[in-house]
Structure 1
């Protein structure tokens, strides 16, 4: 399995968990949590599924797919089977929602773009240039978008209204770091991202957006996702793990067994 296909598969599985969804038989949630729902992700035969994302309120599924030889972004309410193509999304990759779920961002042909879900066919807004192959983005509650550019660079942030990106993290080459990528936001204050290093497995790292302090968490193949206030889901060497995350200290316990 290629790294790209593995990331796609991991994103799909984690997306289902985030949405409180179940495929086949899924362990029952706590009594205080609403029951899970079954999701049938049917993609037309002329579409090759790539990336997916689920809105913060779990009502919308966004996915990119290749159709007619070109990648496009589609939106589908989870209570329906039909998906609608997002206007101006040719070349779209790695979609992500705004915190309030009213807009969606994506990379397309060397640019970071956003579009309102209520724009009624309006052309997406170009936020900034992102040459090469990006490695994920996350939309902060304060109106900034954190994204990972290509190559041996750190994470950048840019206003969701557009502008010039500024560096948020810096690659520590002396420590053997090669990349920072796959960011996600925790509690509006912390940024979870992956640090790649020469000769080592990637590691999930936590950045305090207020103090700028960083600390390592766990080894992982790619990005991690906080699916409940105290549960972190990630993959390691082809296996999917979930473990407890202290919501106050954000310290992680070592997972014993994979899903």
Structure 2
């Protein structure tokens, strides 16, 4: 079934064809409800006519749609097409797949390891939900221009029944025989099949670990470890031959050679049993390379690309930052418990809760935006030792207050202008026009880092005002919608900030680290916003 541009499938409008394969034809489409671009895979007619397989697929699709991970292409749902066709709606992932990159030759060690870590993270998330990919191969791995990886078609091979006979590239066909889940039938792509798959035996997550090893080997060498002129010879190689590990680059770390041998162990009982172990091994290998940039991460590891952000170690909304070689932090002082009561007064006061208050670094007072009856909004100061708040003079129509890290300055927006005044009180310094600063960070020399308008990048502003210098550029073509909430880490060398993602909520944003000296950006956390460093050595977000 070929769909012309303009064809409607439920709320989706076909924009054009992307490609076709054994698993169906794929189209680019527009979601008219959410105004986003998606991919639609129209399943083969024979598949849609098989009620049993279609029912099984709908059940599997519900499970697959529950997978939410930064390195897994999201499944949005199923749509029925008259008279009896079925379409799968998925996240559209732009860019070439890994097979295109490998066709140009072996990948550099650092790039291959970075991609492998992201693929391992995706498999780990799926395996935790008892989902096995079953068809992992370079053609199902998309790599963006920024190095971000997305794994496609999780679990689809289990319930698909394509015809491989007419496929000109049978070595990359999604399946070899059918039906997909019946005992004794071969499932998967021949060159990446585990020996148990090749024998038609039941498979588990260890089949994915085998395929992961094949992909990693191919990235490092530029060729597959098991090949042949046709499917039968390829399957024979998978069953009988050993991978040629002498083909690996001479500088391949011993740990990666050892990992490949464990992944490509023909006996699944002797094979690596958990993909998380592969991820950890690769991360350790990346850290031992010695030339990666130091990023706040567990035990002062070195990290090479934004792709490694998934290992930041999220725990109850808190990322542990052992700054290690970059920052020498003294132990935090003993915490002081502060208890305070807010007394109600006869004067009505509306408090703006949309980032409308800030606690000073010493923890002794709160500044917030409030508005009494028949009065403009103002900044109010409420010292915890006092009973009632007081107005800060000169702050009519102000909002968005921020303290400097040392507590000496208070920054706010007032009638479209950015202002700075001494926290103890006094005249304000005009720092220029802003549409509404989405966060302000203070550098040790007094300069400020801010996002002046929603949708823009970060800029550096002189302490006394003046021309701004751009620090980051929003990659709108890669789905970024703006850079917000900068926070300068101790020492003034690094800045953490939030990358808003187009069409997603702030809970789905990304927290990155900016190196001011070089402009290099690295991802710390996927799925977070508004990070703040605290003296215990943690990021709160």
Q: 1:88 to 1:199 in 2, by over 3 A?
A: same
Partner of 1:253: none
Q: Please, which of 384, 392, 406 is the counterpart of residue 86 of structure 1?
A: 392
Instruction: Tell me, in whole angstroms, the C-alpha distance in 1 between the residues paired with 2:340 and 2:465.
Output: 35
Task: Report if the CA contact (8 A) 1:154-1:170 is conserved.
Answer: yes
Instruction: Tell me, in whole angstroms, the C-alpha distance in 1 between the residues paired with 2:500 and 2:360.
Output: 28
Instruction: Tell me, in whole angstroms, the C-alpha distance in 1 between the residues paired with 2:460 and 2:333.
Output: 37
Q: Please, which of 497, 501, 519 is the counterpart of residue 193 of structure 1?
A: 497
1:40 aligns with 2:347: no
Identify, as 1 or 2, the structure richer in helix. Answer: 2
CA shift at 1:127, angstroms? 1.1
Task: Report if the CA contact (8 A) 1:147-1:183 is conserved.
Answer: yes
CA shift at 1:152, angstroms? 2.2
Task: Give the TM-score taking structure 2 as reference length.
Answer: 0.35
Identify, as 1 or 2, the structure richer in strand. Answer: 1
Gaps of 5+ in 1: 1-13, 15-29, 235-259
Listed one character per residue, the Cα deviations across residues 152-196 of structure 1 (whole Å, up to 9, x for unaligned) are: 210112112111222111101221111110111111221111101
Task: Report if the CA contact (8 A) 1:71-1:91 is conserved.
Answer: yes
Task: Report if the CA contact (8 A) 2:332-2:535 is conserved.
Answer: no
Instruction: Tell me, in whole angstroms, the C-alpha distance in 1 between the residues paired with 2:392 and 2:475.
Output: 38
Gaps of 5+ in 2: 1-316, 318-330
Q: Please, which of 421, 432, 451 is the counterpart of residue 128 of structure 1?
A: 432
Q: Which is higher, the Rg of structure 1 or of structure 2?
A: 2
1:98 aligns with 2:404: yes
Q: Please, which of 353, 358, 372 is the counterpart of residue 53 of structure 1?
A: 358
Task: Report if the CA contact (8 A) 1:189-1:209 is conserved.
Answer: yes
1:168 aligns with 2:471: yes
Task: Report if the CA contact (8 A) 1:128-1:165 is conserved.
Answer: no
Query: Does the residue aligned with 1:38 lie in a helix, a strand or coil?
Result: coil
1:205 aligns with 2:512: yes
CA shift at 1:32, angstroms? 6.7
Task: Report if the CA contact (8 A) 1:202-1:222 is conserved.
Answer: yes
Query: Does the residue aligned with 1:174 lie in a helix, a strand or coil?
Result: helix
Listed one character per residue, the Cα deviations across residues 71-111 of structure 1 (whole Å, up to 9, x for unaligned) are: 21112222222322111111211111223322211111101
Q: 1:222 to 1:46 in 2, by over 3 A?
A: farther
Instruction: Tell me, in whole angstroms, the C-alpha distance in 2 between the residues paired with 1:32 and 1:217.
Output: 26
CA shift at 1:33, angstroms? 2.0
Query: Does the residue aligned with 2:477 lie in a helix, a strand or coil?
Result: helix
Instruction: Tell me, in whole angstroms, the C-alpha distance in 1 between the residues paired with 2:344 and 2:531.
Output: 26
Task: Report if the CA contact (8 A) 1:87-1:124 is conserved.
Answer: no
Q: 1:185 to 1:32 in 2, by over 3 A?
A: closer
Partner of 1:225: 532
Task: Report if the CA contact (8 A) 1:102-1:116 is conserved.
Answer: yes
Task: Report if the CA contact (8 A) 1:183-1:191 is conserved.
Answer: yes
Partner of 2:102: none
